[in-house]
Chain A
Amino acid sequence: ELKVEQNPLFLSMQEGKNYTIYCNYSTTSDRLYWYRQDPGKSLESLFVLLSNGAVKQEGRLMASLDTKARLSTLHITAAVHDLSATYFCAVDIGSNSGYALNFGKGTSLLVTP
């Protein structure tokens, strides 16, 4: 069974600081996704990482994928309050017939002044 583990699960950080969220997964996959969820809201796709060494950046967020280590990171640079949300990583559990994403438990990020 594919396991996707995120850490930390809770993160409180000050505005302007940097931090990294880690996502480990237990089986071979070349595809990893990051999502954001605001309280009471739906999930919004942030990044799609499709190969080893893939790096994607959007604003203050940068995601990377190391398929050999089965590890993805989401790096936050100079955090601002608007980044407060829950961040999920998800790994493709595709098969010959179907496809779905297996999500980690999420990292709840709170950015404080």
Chain B
Amino acid sequence: DSGVTQTPKHLITATGQRVTLRCSPRSGDLSVYWYQQSLDQGLQFLIQYYNGEERAKGNILERFSAQQFPDLHSELNLSSLELGDSALYFCASSRGTGISPLHFGNGTRLTVT
């Protein structure tokens, strides 16, 4: 158990809808990262937050947004969902903002129908 908690585990929704994925980092970790894993694209970095502030941005679509709250949990909001958004979304956390391995949660499997 990595100590990173993601909810829900599974999410099935329709195209055009909006969903929110939630992540609680390991105790003491200040950084949260979001990744999307799909068969064709592999593991894609979406965004990083450190102590409530956005620090790094990857291939995150404009329809997606995230935030990190004062208690350090993070939410990833996906809107106007398309079939291609179906994927496994991982949250990871680390102590700081560099030179440490990321600890991954168990992921949220999103299916858009």
Contacts and interface: CB of A to CB of B under 8 A. Distances in A.
Interface stretch (A60-68, A75-83, A96-104): A96-104
A42 B90 CA distance: 8
A99 B50 CA distance: 10
Interface string B75-110: 000000000000000101000011111111111000
A42 B101 contact: no
Interface of B: 2, 31, 33, 35, 42-43, 45, 48, 50, 55-58, 90, 92, 97-107
Interface string A25-68: 00000010100000001111100101000000000000000000
Bin chain A's interface residue count: 20 to 34
25 contacts: A33-B101, A41-B106, A42-B104, A42-B107, A43-B90, A44-B2, A44-B104, A48-B100, A90-B43, A92-B99, A93-B45, A94-B56, A98-B48, A98-B50, A98-B56, A98-B57, A99-B31, A99-B55, A99-B98, A100-B45, A100-B48, A100-B58, A103-B42, A103-B45, A104-B42
Chain B's interface: helix, strand, loop or mixed, by majority? strand
Nearest to B39: A105
Contacts of B58: 100
Nearest to A50: B99
A43 B56 contact: no
A88 B42 CA distance: 10
Nearest to B92: A43
B101 A99 contact: no
